Structure 1
Amino acid sequence: MEDPVKPDDSDTKWKGYHGHTRAKHNLLDYYLNPWMKILGSNSSKLRVFDCFAGRGDYLGEQTADPVELEHIDTSSVVPGSPQIILNNACEFIHLTDKIECVFIEKEEKNARILSENLPDESKFPDGVSYDIVVGKFQDKTIPEIEQRGGWDIPTFLFIDPFGYSQLDYDVVTTISQSDGFEVLINLMASQVVRWQDVDKQQDALQRPFGTSAWREELETHQAGPLDDKEVSYYCRRLEENGPKHTIAYLVTREDSDAMVYYMIFGTNNPKGLEVMRDAMNEIGPGEFAYAPNRPGRHQDQAGLDSWSENEVRQKLKELFSGRELSFESIVSEYVQEATYSTHRRKDIRRELKDMEDEGIIGIERITSQTPAGLSGDDVVNFPQFE
C-alpha cells in the first residue's frame, strides 16, 4: 500500500519551493563538499546515488531561494537534488579520476522531465557522468551498485522519498552496513506520527522499521536527545543492522513549529559522523535543526565561552579517566559518545590545551611541530579522576 498522498508524478507535488525543502538541499550540498574533498583525494572513483531523483525542478510559489549552482547550467528555475549533486561533482572532479552520479526515479514522467532539466554530459569536465535509471529504489539500487563496480567504491546515497512506505528496511540496511557507504535519508516522521494508528497503514509502516514488532518496541522506546521517539527508534533500528553511527536533523515548517521530517545520516566512519555533526550544527537555524520557530532549538552563542569549557572538561574526564590515547582518537570517541553536543573539534582541542597548561594532563607531541599545536597522533595522558 502506498502512503495516503498524491502520486509522485502528480504536478501538484512539485509546486512550491519552501524553507523545509531548501533545508534538506542545504544539508546535502554542505556535506557533499567535504565528502568529495576527503574521499576524492584518496580514491580514483566516487559514486553518488539520488534514489528518488524527481524532476530536478519546482514550480509555482517560492518562499525560499534555491541552492546556488556555480559549476553547471540548468534550465530549471528552481533546481533539485540532481543538479546539486552534479554541481559538486564538477567542482571536485579535479581531485579524482571519476565521479559517477546515478539518478533513480520510479515515475517515467518525472524521469523524462529530469532528463530535460539536466545539462548534456559534454558540458561537464572529463570524469563526471550521470545516468537516469527508471525504476523503484527498492528494486534498482542494489543491482545498480553491483553493476557499477560493486561495494568497494566510496558511495553516498541521498534517499529522499515522498512518504515512508518506499523506505525498505532491508535495502537501506544492506547498503548502509557496507564500509565506504554513507546514506542521508528523509524520514517523513510527521506522517509516521499521523498514520501509525490507522489499520490500513500498518503494512506500510512496517517497511521502514523492518519488524512486525515495531509498535510494541516503539511504545517502550526512550527518545533520548531527540524530540520525537519515532525518529530515535528508527535510528536504533538502522544501527542494529545497518550503519554503526546515525545522527538526525529536525526540519520544521518555516512559518510554524510543526515538524515536517527528519534528515537521518548513517555512516560506518567516525570521521563522517564528525563532519555531518558539524554540518547539522552549522547550517541551522537551530541546533541540529532547521527550526526557525522553535525557541528551544535556536542557536545562541552568547556566553558560550563562559560555560562550554566546563562542559567539555567534564565529558573528557568522564570518558578518558586513566587513559592514554591520541588526539584523533579522543575526538572520534567524544563525537560518538556525545553526538548531539554542540561542542566541536576546536572546543575539545582548546580545553585539552587548557588542561595541559593547568598541569592536569600530559601531552606528547608527535604530529604537532610546536608546543602550541595539538592534532593527529599527539598522545594525551589522562590521570585517574575521582
Structure 2
Amino acid sequence: MARTGESDTVWELKPHTSAKHDLLTGYLKGWFPILSRWNDRIVFLDGFAGPGVYKNGEPGSPTKALEVLLSHRHLPAMTNKTFVFLFNEAEPDRHESLNAVVQEFIASHQPWPSNIKVQVAGDSFENVAEGILAHLDEQKRNLAPTFAFVDPFGLKGLPMDLLRRLLSFDRCELFVYFDFNTVNRFASAGNIDDRLTELFGTDRFKDAAGLAGPERKKFLHDLYQSQLIEACGFPFVKSFEMVNETGHTGYYLFYGTRHVTGLRVMKDAMWKVDPGGGEKFSDVLAGIPVLFGDEVDTEPLQIDLAQHFKGQTVSIELLEHYVLTETPYAASHLKKLTLKPMQIAGQITCVNQARRNTYPPGTQVVFPG
C-alpha cells in the first residue's frame, strides 16, 4: 500500500513545519518545569515522529524535544524527576532513520542523564496507544502526565475515541494535526465517510454539504474543536492555522488541555510564532521582511473588556482568566498593553491600586456603567 504524505524517507523542511517545531519547543520550555513541580514522572509522546531529520540535516521534532530539556536552565532542579520520551514511527525506513538519529543524539550528549528515558517504537500510533492503555489497565494505574504530539500525514490512524481514552487522565494534553485540506475536499464526497466519522467521533461533518467558503471552513474547524472539548474532555482548546505556499489553509494544529496554566504557555508560544495575531503562519510570507511592527493591537481587546465588564468591579485574576479563555490574546497583553492605556484614557479606575498603571495580584479594576 502506498504511504501517505512524502514518498521519500527524508524530505525537505518546509517553513510551516519549522513554525510547528517552534510552537512545540516554545511550549515544552514552559511545560517541563511546570509539570515537574508536582509530578515525579512526565511523558512526551511523539506518535508520528518521522525519520528524525530533514533533507538538509535539520533536526526533527524528537531531538528538538530532547534538546529543550537537556539545555533547560531548570534541568539541575529536575534531576529527581523522571522524563520519558516515546518516539514512534510506523514506516520501517523512517523508523530505522529515527532510531539512528536518536542514538547518535544520545551518544553525542554523554554522560546521558539517568532520569531521562528514551524509547523508539516502530508500530502504528493506534497500536502503541492501545498497548499503553492495556498496560495501564493491567497495572490498575493512570497515565502519568503526558504531552501527546500527534502529527500524522492525512487522516488515517487518528480516531477521536482513541484520543479520548488515551488522554482521559487529568494532566494529559494533546497537540494534534487536523488535515483541513483533505477534510474539506471529502466532507461532502461520501467516499471516506467511515474514516471521517472515526476522525471526528461523529458524522455531523456531513452537515458541511450545504456550506461553502469561509462558512464551511469555520464549520469544520469548530466541529473538530467542539469534539475535542466534548468527546475528549478538554475544556480549553486552541487552534493555530497553517497556510501553504498556494495561500490556502493546509491544516490546523489543535492544542487541548484541562488546565488554564497550559493554555497560558501555549498562547505565549503561538504569539511568538505569529506576533501579529497569535493564530496563523503562512508559507507565502515566510522569509519576507514584515512591513509593519510587532506591536500588538489591543484596541479590540479594550473594547471587548469595556463592553463585557461594563458596570462591574472585577479582580485582575478574573480579567486574566477571561483574556486567556475567551479571547485570542495572551495574558501578557492585558496589563501594560491594554489596562494601562485604558486607565490613562479614563476608561477604567482601580480602587486599591498602590501605584497608577500597575496591576499586581489582588488589584480591583472598575469598569464604569
Tell me, which stretches of 5 or more residues in structure 1 are unaligned? 63-76
1:361 aligns to what? Answer: 349
CA distance, structure 2, for counterparts of residue 202 and residue 107 of structure 1: 25
**Superposed counterparts of 1:342-361, under 5 Å:** 344-355=331-342, 358=346, 360-361=348-349
* Distance across 2 between alignment mates of 1:273 and 1:134: 31
1:238 aligned to which of 224, 228, 233: 228
CA shift at 1:124, angstroms? 2.3
Report the equivalent of 1:70: none
Q: Describe how 1:72-87 pairs up with structure 2 within 5 A.
A: 77-87=57-67
**How far did 1:299 drift?**
7.5
The match for 1:374 is 359
Q: 1:280 aligns with which of 258, 262, 270?
A: 270
Q: How many residues align?
A: 353
Contact 1:145 1:151 in 2 (8 A): no
Unaligned runs of 5+ in 2: none
**2:246 — aligned with what?**
256
Secondary structure at 1:41's aligned position in 2? helix
Aligned to 1:73: none
Asked if the contact 2:15/2:283 (under 8 Å) is kept, the reply is no
Q: Does residue 1:333 correspond to 2:322, yes or no?
A: yes
Q: 1:316 to 1:261 in 2, by over 3 A?
A: same
Q: Distance in 2 between matches of 1:15 and 1:219?
A: 38
SS at match of 1:141: helix
Query: What amino acid is the match of 1:58?
Result: Y
1:112 to 96, 101, 124: 96
Q: Name the CA shift for 1:293/1:53 in 2 (closer, same or farther; >3 Å).
A: closer
Aligned-partner Cα distance in 2 for 1:20–1:107 = 23
Deviation at 1:330, TM superposition (A): 1.5
Asked whether the equivalents of residues 9 and 107 of structure 1 are also in contact (C-alpha less than 8 Å), the reply is no
Aligned equivalents of 1:282 and 1:303: distance in 2?
Answer: 10
Tell me, yes or no, if the aligned pair for 2:50 and 2:94 is still in contact at 8 Å. yes
AA aligned to 2:360 is S
- Alignment RMSD: 3.4
Alignment partners' CA distance in 1, 2:250 and 2:96: 28
- Alignment counterpart, residue 160 of structure 2, candidates 162, 165, 169: 169
> For residues 78-134 of structure 1, what are the alpha-carbon distances to aligned partners after superposition, in whole Å with 9 as ceiling and x for unaligned?
221111111122223334222111112223443222111113476422311111223
Shift of 1:11: 5.0
Contact 1:155 1:182 in 2 (8 A): yes
1:46 aligns with 2:42: yes
Alpha carbons of structure 1 residues 89 and 304: separation in structure 2 relative to 1, 3 Å: closer
2:258 to 268, 284, 296: 268
Which residue is equivalent to 1:101? 85
Distance 1:162 1:383, change over 3 A: closer
Question: In structure 2, how many angstroms separate the alpha carbons of the residues matched to 1:268 and 1:322?
Answer: 31
Residues 1:135 and 2:131 aligned together: no
Q: Contact 1:106–1:134 (CA<8 Å) still a contact in 2? A: yes
Match of 1:293, SS?
A: coil
Q: Which residue of 1 aligns with 2:68?
A: 88
Which stretch of the first structure deviates more once superposed, 284-293 or 128-137?
A: 284-293
Amino acid across the alignment from 1:94: P
Tell which deviates more after alignment, 35-44 or 241-250: 35-44
Partner AA of 2:174 in structure 1: V
Task: Return closer, same or farther for 1:374/1:217 CA change in 2, 3 Å cut-off.
Answer: same
1:248–1:264 CA contact under 8 A, matched in 2 = yes
Match of 2:185 in 1: 194
1:215 match: 206
Q: State TM-score, norm by structure 1.
A: 0.78
1:159 shift after superposition: 0.3
